[in-house]
Amino acid sequence: MILTSGLQKVFCAGLDITEFYNPNPDRLSKFWTTLQDTWLSLYTTSFPTVSVINGHSPAGGCLFAMSCDYRVMVGPNYTIGLNETKLGIVAPKWFQDTMVAVIGQRKAEVSLTTGKMYTTDEALQIGLIDESLPDANSALKKGTQFLNNFQKISPWAYKMTKDISRQPTVQWLIDNKQKDLDFVIKYMQSPTVQKNLELYLQSLKK
Ligand SMILES: CCCCC/C=C\C/C=C\C/C=C/C(=O)SCCNC(=O)CCNC(=O)[C@H](O)C(C)(C)COP(=O)(O)OP(=O)(O)OC[C@H]1O[C@@H](n2cnc3c(N)ncnc32)[C@H](O)[C@@H]1OP(=O)(O)O
């Protein structure tokens, strides 16, 4: 499966920040549970996945890209990263662990604490993406070539290998789903977080 965007310059703008601003707890609960379930499904697919990152990919966008098996990004003008600290919020543990699995503890810590958005070249350098291509068509071709590798791999061997590799992060969320949800609902009602989100949303307006 190839995960890509139909938009011109945005792969995924991340989670809808308006869902966190002045949240209705019931609605936020459904929103967050859907996100948890979507991520669990994507991170544990029984088939190979590639993200063809054909535009900017902040926060939740970066999470979805990182959750695929391989990342091909169109360069050089787009950016990717977990920028939550720039919003004055914290990337949840499973977001952070997904990044650690891709780029390693040290690089992830720097990336997460600074909320850095990496250009395509920078992302390639730190291993956040696997390949950089100049346009969307060649990126799609590269992504397809990667998937073709699996024609010669046993689906069972593929799935078992991926499960072993991703199990700790997946299991943590399965075991802590309700705790994670309760925390997010409480956290998003904090006046400090609300102020930070208000300022960030204002900064996005043109
Ligand atoms: C200890 C444990 C801690 C637990 C912590 C608990 C919770 C943490 C929870 C969540 C983690 C958060 C994850 C996220 O994904 S947050 C979202 C992060 N996304 C961003 O920062 C993206 C911001 N947007 C941009 O940078 C740009 O819009 C863009 C994607 C680069 C595209 O640029 P472009 O110029 O094409 O678009 P515009 O800027 O014109 O935007 C159009 C329009 O959309 C609004 N908008 C953009 N992104 C978002 C968004 N993610 N959510 C809501 N709204 C968005 C923007 O304001 C514009 O609105 P307008 O009304 O002016 O049209």
Q: What pLDDT score does 59 carry?
A: 98
Other C-beta atoms closer than 10 Å to the C-beta of 5 total 19
Considering only CA atoms, which of 206, 190, 169, 182 is closest in space to residue 44?
169
> 50: which strand partners?
2, 70
ipTM of the complex: 0.96
Note the pLDDT of residue 158: 98
Whole-number pLDDT of residue 206: 74
Ligand 1 within 6 A of CB of 62: no
Q: Which atom of ligand 1 is nearest to the CA of 61?
A: 15
- Residue 18 alpha carbon, nearest atom of ligand 1: 53
Is residue 200 within 6 Å of ligand 1 at its C-beta?
A: no
Give, for ligand 1, the residue of 79, 204, 205, 206 to mutate: max count of ligand atoms closer than 8 Å to Cβ: 204
**Confidence label for 153 from pLDDT (cuts 50, 70 and 90):** very high
Band the pLDDT of 23: cuts 50, 70, 90: very high
Instruction: Give the residue from 83, 77, 91, 64 showing the smallest Cα distance to 122.
Output: 77
pLDDT score, position 21? 97
* Cis peptide, bond prior to residue 76, ω within 30 of zero: yes
Q: Is the CB of 89 under 6 A from ligand 1?
A: yes
Q: Which two tokens stand for residue 11?
A: 């792969």
pTM of the model: 0.97
